[in-house]
Amino acid sequence: MALDKTGIAKRIAQELQNGWYVNLGIGIPTLVANYIPEGIDVEFQSENGVLGMGQFPLEEEVDADLINAGKQTITVKEGASFFDSAMSFAMIRGQHVQLTVLGAMEVSQNGDIANWKIPGKMVKGMGGAMDLVASAENIIVAMMHSNKAGESKILKECTLPLTGVGCVKKVVTELAVMEIKDGAFHLIERAPGVSVEEIISKTEGKLIVPEHVPEMKI
Amino acid sequence: MNKVVKNVEEALLGIQDGMTLMIGGFGLCGIPENSIAQLVKLNVRNLTCISNNAGVDDFGLGLLLQQKQIKKMISSYVGENAEFERQMLSGELIVDLIPQGSLAERCRAGGAGIPAFFTPAGYGTEVAEGKEVRVFNGKPHILEEALTADYAIVKAWKGDTEGNLIFKATARNFNPMMAMAGKITIAEVEELVPAGTLDPNFIHTPGIFVQRIFQGEKFEKRIEQRTTR
């Protein structure tokens, strides 16, 4: 069975390591915060100017002045801090944030990512994504393997305008966990009950498949 | 030095057609609502607006877009605004989209006397087109130039008569850098207090960056995504 969005978030949460500062993008990445493994202490950074993001507020706690980068109302944990946008991106560009998780429309086998524009159709802007992908050492992309038309989004080369080049290290989809290195996707794990053949058939980019591909433990 | 002006009308005196304005805020959080309403009333046109976002259809900078007062937007993210998207795709509105961190730093640089800087953000993308590339520590970077504005309009939580500002929570965002980068900076605050009331240890923006300050008449503080648990 292919994973749902929650499953993808749960699998990515397993990558979190003690002491990390983590930036989560909008969409599936935001869900990762709900599945931090037992005993792991991480802080979430939101690029609009908060470190130490907590859970969503209770109705009576809602504060218009306290939001995340997705413009959702949030709360902060004890020990949180606020700062301006220049300092926020100093944290990001200066590699003080250990992990970035973000969504993508396309990823290529050399680690390029496209997620901000469909020419002539949709232009929302890159927001902080270009700064994040250009600087983060450790980038995980959370995405669906194919688009709504069934075409692979795991490609030899991106067709959409790029957000960053050669930056993505790992991709988690509803079907698979893949590492990107040496110009290829390397299949690491498959979703429970999903066959290697299905993953191969839905991956347009070069995919290296080892003899044994373990199932994800969700 | 007393920076206090009577009201929003006096605060915005001098803003004319064709000027470049910086407007603080992230989404609808920390935007100078009273000043935006006054810009609508003044109906100044052909504006270049530097702001991270473009508001929503009926609030924030969306109000200026509705009246077609903006000629060019310099932003990082402009989703959530159908009228914006329509004007952009039809070519009525010139849009310069730049990475959020570069936008923040370009404003900071503009206020700090740094004409340009190198950043890795945007290398290898459309953003890098026409920009100088240099390799530092084995990694390519692009040259980004500083931004300044005829007027910067920011919103703070508390301010004093000297123009010192304190922001609240994530309503700080772009406001401090834009305050630095305006030839004339207008601060609209929720609470205006006498000098000496705010602890100098906790000032976010020193008054030197602010030329005019006033207490906003009312703040709606609209929420884009009310999310509760």
- Report pLDDT digits (tens) over A122-158: 788 999 999 999 998 899 999 999 998 999 999 999 9
Q: Residue A88 above 90 pLDDT?
A: yes
Query: Minimal Cα distance from B109: which residue of A?
Result: A86
Q: What is residue B81's predicted lDDT score, i.e. its pLDDT?
A: 84
Digitized pLDDT (tens) for each residue of chain B, 229 residues in all: 999 999 999 999 999 999 999 999 999 999 999 999 999 999 999 999 999 999 999 999 999 999 999 999 999 999 878 888 889 888 999 999 999 999 999 999 999 999 999 999 999 999 999 999 999 999 999 999 999 999 999 999 999 999 999 999 999 999 999 999 999 999 999 999 999 999 999 999 999 999 999 999 999 999 999 999 9
Q: Could you tell me how far CA A175 lies from the centroid of its own chain?
A: 15
Q: Chain B contacts of A157, Cβ < 8 Å?
A: none
Q: What is the ipTM of this complex?
A: 0.96
Q: What is residue B79's predicted lDDT score, i.e. its pLDDT?
A: 80
Q: Residue A64 above 80 pLDDT?
A: yes
Flag whether residue B181 sits within 8 Å of chain A, measured between CB atoms.
no
Flag whether residue B86 sits within 8 Å of chain A, measured between CB atoms.
no
Q: What is residue B60's predicted lDDT score, i.e. its pLDDT?
A: 96
DSSP string across B53-71: ---BTTBTTHHHHHTT-EE
Q: What is residue B82's predicted lDDT score, i.e. its pLDDT?
A: 85
Q: What is residue A101's predicted lDDT score, i.e. its pLDDT?
A: 97
Whole-number Cα distances in Å, A65 to A74, B20, B86: 10, 26, 29
Contact A139, A108 (CB under 8 A): no
Please state the pTM of the whole predicted model.
0.96
Cross-chain residue pair B97–A125, CB shorter than 8 Å: yes
Measure the CA–CA gap between B19 and B8, rounded to whole angstroms.
18
Q: Among A43, A47, A189, A197, which one carries the catalytic annotation?
A: A47
Q: What is residue B134's predicted lDDT score, i.e. its pLDDT?
A: 98
Q: What is residue A27's predicted lDDT score, i.e. its pLDDT?
A: 87
Q: Please measure the distance between the N-terminal and C-terminal CA atoms of chain A and give it in whole angstroms.
A: 12
- Chain B interface disruption, residue of A30, A84, A160, A162, most B CBs within 10 A: A84
